[in-house]
Chains A and B, each alone.
Chain A
Amino acid sequence: MIVSDPVALERVEVAIIGSGPGGSVVAATLANAGKSVLLIEEGANLPQDSCQPFSFQEMKQKYRAGGIAAAVGRPNVAYAEASCVGGGSEVNSGLYHRTPDDVLEEWVHEFSVEDLSPASLEPHFAACETVMQPATYSAALPAASRLLREGAEARGMESSDVPRLVVFDDTLDPQGVARSARRSMTESFIPEFLAADGKLLPKTRVHKLRKQGRNWQIQARWQNRNVQIEAENVFICAGAIHSPALLQRSGIRLNAGRSLSMQPMIKLTAEFAEPVNYPGMGIAGEQVRDLNSDCSLGCAISSRAHLAINLVGVDAGPAYAIKQQSHLVSYYVMARGCTDGSVRALPGFDDPLVSYRLSGRELDNLGSGLKVLTGVLVAAGASRVYTGLHRQPVVENPGQAEQLPDRLAPGTDSIMTIHLMASCPMGEARNRTAVDSWGKVHGHTGLYLADVSTLCSSPGINPQGTIMALARRNSEHFLRV
């Protein structure tokens, strides 16, 4: 049921704050187990088709701050987060990975996470996959994918069509590529949660939590009114920035927001002699792993507007992108990322201050990843590659690709991210974790975290698969104890 008036709410057994992949999976798991669950979400409850995917309209409707935010540092890193029922799953590309084994091993060793292994996570991945059905292209690949694969193979690198959380329909686009739509939380776990008698309260921002006796009092703002909701247990699932900010506003500071990690990205544009792009070209899920730079190379959105923005600063500029759109494709390099950021709730401000210091290693990795990607695209037949770097010449042959700098300059302005994480890491190593191995906030009964913030570090892959599996694992543990 969608709650229309929270004032009338009785005390609930479990309140979940934030309805992204973390919160939605917890909500469905607990409601299916018969708990009385209230899912509170700051953003609006909008259907998938309320706007065009990846449009300005979508940024206005479904992103926090209209999709414009920056982590302060040198350089500032632009970032985007969603704020709507379903969280990031409503706006993302749905690229799906299971957590790599070596990453889990690293978390166990460095953060002393209990009972975390590929085998112990397997049933949780499998259960989430039954609902989300990650799938790859069955027929033709989009041209952007095909070219990345050809270039990678020519350079002896492995490339694959990463499964995505989408529903393919039966129709093909003019290039024979299957059309698809996102399988987001509002298309999967949230309907399941509602069917299990869960209550969803959208457009309600939780400001603070206070322990009162055995319960938690949730202080929130709904329709310009302050409301208070009581819950025996609270799961905070507000994402990498807002989970630690809410903890801090509630006076809980132990390792909350001190270790923000992100996967910094930089985009480039390749031009091909033959037409390769067309309005409506599906999301290209191809990814190449460059082991030397610890970077993923993949396909970015190649709409007219995005291409024009990428070509700002290039001689012919956006006008050229408009004229040549059908010959241009945008790609990205995404580094694994370190843990050198922080989130601080500022008194008197609504938004927490996010800062991030790009390390030398990240600048090295992005630089060499960009060089490799440029080489791959030249090998795929690109006649030009526009690197987007300030004053960097256009690359037209392998020799020029080799001459690109090995390290990005610290002042590079175009670095951005859509993957923020690890601001409240989990584990038993109390000196560096905010929650225990199962998401319980250290030192506080009835208070849990289950979202991207609890990852110990960047997994180096798109994180939604990891978030969902961990959220399910932690909810099942909650039900057992």
Chain B
Amino acid sequence: MSYSSIVVAISDAFECEHLQDAGIETPDNDVIAAEIIGAQHRMPDYLRAPMFILTWLFDISGIALTGRRFQYLDQVQKIRCINAWRDSRISACRNLVRFYESLFLLIALQEDIH
């Protein structure tokens, strides 16, 4: 029920959607989620609070779509929820998915570029 379990669940879904067949090693999703939450704490204060609230709303929105909160869904249903927000007419919903997806990929796919 904690905030971090929502972020871990989001990371699990992105891993399943994007990296399952990629055949690469990435950090644990717990580690990635901790980094994402750290990044949220560093955000400007006028964006931070809306981000936390939207994340909770996202978790709860799973109930409307599937009958259960996002963090308790299986991966297929999680991706369904993410797609609903990704395609939403409300830009804040699209931006939330974009935020998590970009940070997840940035952290999961870090490499030595030199």
Contact = CB atoms under 8 A, between A and B. Distances in A.
Given A305-B111, A309-B106, A312-B101, A66 B22 contact: no
Interface in B1-56: 17-22, 24, 35, 38-39, 42-47
B113 A312 contact: no
A313 B51 CA distance: 22
A451 to B, nearest CB: 20
Contact of A279 (B21, B35, B46, B112): B112
A70 B44 CA distance: 9
Contact of B24 (A322, A350, A414): A322
Interface in A316-351: 317-319, 322-323, 346, 349-351
A304 interface: yes
A60 B34 CA distance: 13
A411 B98 CA distance: 14
Contacts of A353: 46
Contacts of B22: 318-319, 322-323
Most buried by A among B47, B91, B98, B109: B109
A346 B22 CA distance: 45
Given A55-B110, A68-B43, A351-B44, A76 B102 contact: no
A429 B94 CA distance: 42
B42 to A, nearest CB: 4
A52 interface: yes
Contacts of A76: 91, 95
A69 B110 contact: no
Nearest to A312: B101
Contact of B18 (A66, A75, A308): A308
A411 B110 contact: no
Contact of A319 (B19, B35, B43): B19
Contacts of B73: none
Nearest to A68: B43
A283 to B, nearest CB: 10
A349 B42 contact: no
A200 B66 CA distance: 57
Interface residues of B, number: 35
Interface in A370-420: 411, 413-414
Interface residues of A, number: 39
B78 to A, nearest CB: 16
Contact of A65 (B17, B42, B99, B108): B42
Contacts of B47: 68-70
Given A76-B91, A413-B98, A319 B18 contact: yes
B94 A312 contact: no
A359 interface: no
A318 B42 contact: no
Contacts of A414: 98
A60 B103 CA distance: 12
B60 interface: no
A170 to B, nearest CB: 16
B84 interface: no
Given A76-B95, A319-B21, A413-B91, A349 B109 contact: no
Nearest to B101: A312
A304 B109 contact: yes
B111 A304 contact: yes
A56 B18 contact: no
Contacts of A68: 39, 42-43, 47, 99, 103
A411 B105 CA distance: 23
A68 B112 CA distance: 22
Contacts of B99: 68
B110 A351 contact: no
Contacts of B107: 56
B113 A53 contact: yes
9 contacts: A55-B110, A55-B113, A68-B39, A74-B91, A306-B106, A318-B105, A322-B22, A349-B45, A353-B46
Task: List the 7 closest pairs (A to B, CB-CB), nearest first.
Answer: A351-B44, A66-B42, A305-B109, A318-B18, A322-B22, A308-B105, A319-B22
Interface of A: 52-57, 59-60, 65-66, 68-70, 74-76, 279-280, 303-306, 308-309, 312-313, 317-319, 322-323, 346, 349-351, 353, 411, 413-414
